[in-house]
Structure 1
Amino acid sequence: MQTADSLADKEKMLANYVPVFVMLPLDVVSVSNVLEKQEELRRQLRQLRAADVDGVMVDVWWGIVEAEGAKCYDWSAYRELFHMVEEEGLKLQAIMSFHQCGGNIGDAVDIPLPRWVRDVGESDPDIYYTNRSGTRNREYLTIGVDDQPIFDGRTAVELYSDFMKSFRANMADFLDAGIITDIEVGLGPAGELRYPSYPEAQGWVFPGIGEFQCYDKYMKEEFKEDATMAGHPEWDLPDDAGEYNDKPTKTKFFAAKNGTYLTEKGSFFLTWYSNKLLMHGDQILDAANEAFLGCKLKLAAKVSGIHWWYKDDNHAAELTAGYYNLNDRDGYRTIARMLARHDAILNFTCVEMRNSEQIRRAKSGPEELVRQCSMEGGDRSGMRKCS
């Protein structure tokens, strides 16, 4: 017979219990939309269950499911996978992966955006993020086309929304049974709410400051309209912020004294740039809440832990990624508030890092960054590690 004390201890243990989910390989469903190596996968799932793991996390790739044409969704391989996970007594966290796989840290396979989307990009390359020199980044569609009906009459946000609605309709049995417990919504390159400011595929090397990614025609037009409305039609996008592998001191924009980022013009741009990112996340999470209305699950979004140059006054690498964070300005509070509005968890990518592991010249501060974000995320949206 259990005593009151033992029951209280059990309840306390359950209250502090942290579910453990293991990430499946990026290509567990192949680029040709086939669930391969099924016997090996089942054996691995059984090993996880035997180790008391709660479940698995899997990328659901836009470039695989909707590869054959607009609104031509093929969920068959993912249904096979989900059935196998269910049969082995595990839960699922599904990632709505609207980005390309390949070209980022840890990417061992290549899964491009759907062919029909890339066809639009052949005639209109401004659908992709673009740096000041005109180099396109094909990992993810630019925020500039979020509301542009250029995909056979649909906007980019509508593409993401329709994909999630189709997932809901085709995975209703797993959702209703509680097999799928979380949906992480991809909001940018590597699935993260950020600009692709530090692409290894374009030659970026740690700890380069990265580059602003707002020089496609759509974002340039939006900036000019917004600057004109603010009474400064003469303002243009930055031309003094350096290149991917520069140090802050090599640029005028991030200069310690009289840097552009400290001026009225610089502040206007950085506010505009970061607000565009927030509005992007807000719109897609709105669509996710609509798509999964009534489902017993948690939404989540991933934020990148950009720790290099954190201890420099300019926080250059964070600024180019879209996080307007300075010593006297909290750039993560607005993100946490936005996620909290959607009751979404903040997944953060550098929780396990230590300052002592970083090279001194990078002026990294992962411990301080995590502490800052945990204060915001923990209070508002919830926060968990996502390495």
Structure 2
Amino acid sequence: MDVSAVGRQAGVGGSERMILQVQNGHPQIARRTRSSAALPISRLKCRIALGSTCRRVAIGVRAAVRPEEAKKVGGRGEALRRSTVDRPQLFVGLPADAVSDCNTVNHSKAIAAGLKALKLLGVDGVELPVWWGIVEKEAMGKYDWSGYLSLVQMIQDTGLLIRTSLYTHSSSDPAIPLPQWITAIGDSDPSIFFTDRTGNLYRDCLSLSVDELPVLHGRTPLQVYSSLLQSFRDNFHPFLGSTITDILVGLGPDGELKYPSMAGQRNRKPSGAGEFQCYDKNMLAHLKRHAEASGNPCWGLAGPHDAPGYSQAPDSAAFFRDVGGSWETPYGDFFLSWYANHLVSHGDQVLSMAGGLLADLPVQVHGKVPVLHPWSRTRARPAELAGGYYSAGGRDGYAAMAEVFARNGCGVVLPGMNLCDGLQPEAMKASPEALLGEMMRAFNRRGVGVWGENQSARGKREGLEKIKETLGKGAVGKFTYQRMGAYFFSPEHFPAFTQFVRSLDWTELPAEDLPVEGDAGIPLSVSASDTTNAREMQTA
């Protein structure tokens, strides 16, 4: 399989011809030549050969023309500037393990070439995942930002913007643990982690029930998160507002504002709605106090006894049944209101802390809210209930959360914008499109800026069309495409992505930017035996 690409990046001083090769899933800028003729539009041509059949895809790419240069190249430059304003800003997520456990830049040459390829395509910026377990790995207050500082400098030198995602959870793929000292505390005091009704611990992040408890060597998690963010501010201050324009703060499992309700179905396709995560001793103590204050102390002994397990269908037990389910009883309303409000309070505290620390800087703070679409076409909407969003029975489960984001001046990141109703299993009774629309309306009504994401690049081609359709409605200001890696630059994916980028900027191309017959690319062999090397850049 042969893959190569040729592009021209234009400026008033001439055009630069760049040959991009993709080998083992890694982009490489193979050769540069200069031309004296100025080209106001860049072209990217991909040549993809499968066996003896070769197909060329010519793709228009926004040129790197500064506004003052665009005036000099005439009417097409003016049209070009209009097109870049009309569409949302487009970012691409860097590999989740872009910085290693040893705080060095992983696959630096591949990432550097990938950044140049994105710039050539006309992408605005990249999303940089920053992990608590790498930065504050060994001891509380002992920070090491060196790997991330090197990578941010590399990105700045390429001319791309950055959305930093500051994650306080761990990752299983790639393996990025929590800080060692947090794990040690958890070994002696497991109540700092979420717990389900059978006693299973969710060790990937701290339970929101300990937000204000001094369980971390005498400090609360909120205090520790605040110190982490302050250290980030101090170390990256030269980049804030210029290169780093947006900061996402982690809010829970997978960085999202939710309970880890699907923890029992990790690495498997979900078959149930998940379980309530309210059984660590601190959550139970809070539930007990709330029940006593409401005049129903018996309601505070535990979570719902008639809720199904992780892999059981929602209607296999009484609580989530659409008709006559326990969620409709006074007890159900009591528990679900408490459970959702506890999540709202956690989000409010973290976003308030982050907003306060960064309020004087020209950066936008964001939080991520999950799109829990399984069973969203039912009355009970059990996946949302278990995840902490009280949407059953026609309630607006996102109004209170949207008000929190608005009050703290934060934007919201909504993932799953590539999901299509037609591709969902009928048995799951899911409508990600309707749910996403409902969520966007809740945040838009309150003036909260929406930033979109796809769930994964490893999806159907229809996903790119769905993203384009959603962005075309004008309700999303910025979009992050997840995530750079071996698959991202593969022949199966990269040509489709470049077509997607082009479609965001133009309705049609001028004749001089259409494919030129006989303009050859440079073939580069990619063999099936290179699978191991292709996984060098993670796609998580």
TM-score interval, smaller chain: over 0.9
TM-score by length of 1: 0.94
Change (3 A) 1:207 1:346: farther
User: Paired residue for 2:450, among 380, 383, 387?
Assistant: 383
TM-score by length of 2: 0.68
User: Paired residue for 1:193, among 253, 257, 264?
Assistant: 257
Give the equivalent residue in structure 1 for 2:508.
Answer: none
Structure 1: 5+ residue stretches without partners: 103-107
Aligned residue runs from structure 1 range 176-191, under 5 A: 176=241, 178-191=242-255
User: Paired residue for 2:129, among 48, 59, 65?
Assistant: 59
Taking the aligned partners of 2:83 and 2:365, their CA distance within structure 1 comes to 25
Give the equivalent residue in structure 2 for 1:71.
Answer: 141
* 1:124 paired to 2:192: no
Taking the aligned partners of 2:160 and 2:207, their CA distance within structure 1 comes to 36
* 1:365 paired to 2:431: yes
Taking the aligned partners of 1:215 and 1:183, their CA distance within structure 2 comes to 32
Give the equivalent residue in structure 1 for 2:226.
Answer: 161
* 1:208 paired to 2:248: no
Greater shift in the superposed pair: 6-15 or 75-84 = 6-15
Give the equivalent residue in structure 2 for 1:269.
Answer: 335
SS for the counterpart of 1:20 is strand
Contact map agreement 1:204 1:210 (CA 8 A) in 2:
no
Deviation at 1:293, TM superposition (A): 2.3
Higher strand share: 2
Deviation at 1:379, TM superposition (A): 2.4
Deviation at 1:249, TM superposition (A): 1.1
Give the greater-gyration-radius structure (CA).
2
* 1:16 paired to 2:82: no
Aligned residue runs from structure 1 range 237-248, under 5 A: 237-248=303-314
Change (3 A) 1:313 1:275: same
SS for the counterpart of 1:67 is coil
Deviation at 1:10, TM superposition (A): 7.7
Which 4+ residue blocks in structure 1 deviate beyond 3 angstroms?
A: 5-15, 200-205
Change (3 A) 1:14 1:270: same
Deviation at 1:200, TM superposition (A): 5.6
SS for the counterpart of 1:234 is helix
2:152 is aligned with what amino acid? F
1:304-353 per-residue CA deviation (whole Å, 9 max, x = no partner) reads 11111001111011100001112420101111111111222221112221
Aligned residue runs from structure 1 range 9-158, under 5 A: 13=83, 15-102=85-172, 108-158=173-223
Change (3 A) 1:201 1:362: closer
Give the equivalent residue in structure 1 for 2:62.
Answer: none
1:253 is aligned with what amino acid? F
SS for the counterpart of 1:295 is coil
1:295 is aligned with what amino acid? L
Aligned residue runs from structure 1 range 238-387, under 5 A: 238-380=304-446, 381-387=448-454
Taking the aligned partners of 1:161 and 1:136, their CA distance within structure 2 comes to 25
Taking the aligned partners of 2:208 and 2:220, their CA distance within structure 1 comes to 11
1:385 is aligned with what amino acid? G
Deviation at 1:204, TM superposition (A): 5.7
Deviation at 1:207, TM superposition (A): 3.3
Contact map agreement 1:132 1:239 (CA 8 A) in 2:
no
SS for the counterpart of 1:372 is helix
Structure 2: 5+ residue stretches without partners: 1-70, 455-540
Contact map agreement 2:164 2:244 (CA 8 A) in 1:
yes
Contact map agreement 2:390 2:396 (CA 8 A) in 1:
yes
Larger relative contact order (C-alpha < 8 A, sep ≥ 6)?
2
Taking the aligned partners of 2:313 and 2:231, their CA distance within structure 1 comes to 45
Contact map agreement 1:274 1:323 (CA 8 A) in 2:
yes
Cα RMSD after superposing both structures? 1.9
1:217 is aligned with what amino acid? K
Deviation at 1:37, TM superposition (A): 2.1
1:78-123 per-residue CA deviation (whole Å, 9 max, x = no partner) reads 1000010011111110001000111xxxxx3111110101111111
Contact map agreement 1:198 1:204 (CA 8 A) in 2:
no
1:50 is aligned with what amino acid? L
Deviation at 1:203, TM superposition (A): 7.0
SS for the counterpart of 2:240 is helix
SS for the counterpart of 2:175 is coil
Contact map agreement 1:196 1:213 (CA 8 A) in 2:
yes
Taking the aligned partners of 2:81 and 2:106, their CA distance within structure 1 comes to 41
Contact map agreement 2:379 2:394 (CA 8 A) in 1:
no
1:211-233 per-residue CA deviation (whole Å, 9 max, x = no partner) reads 00010000000000011011111
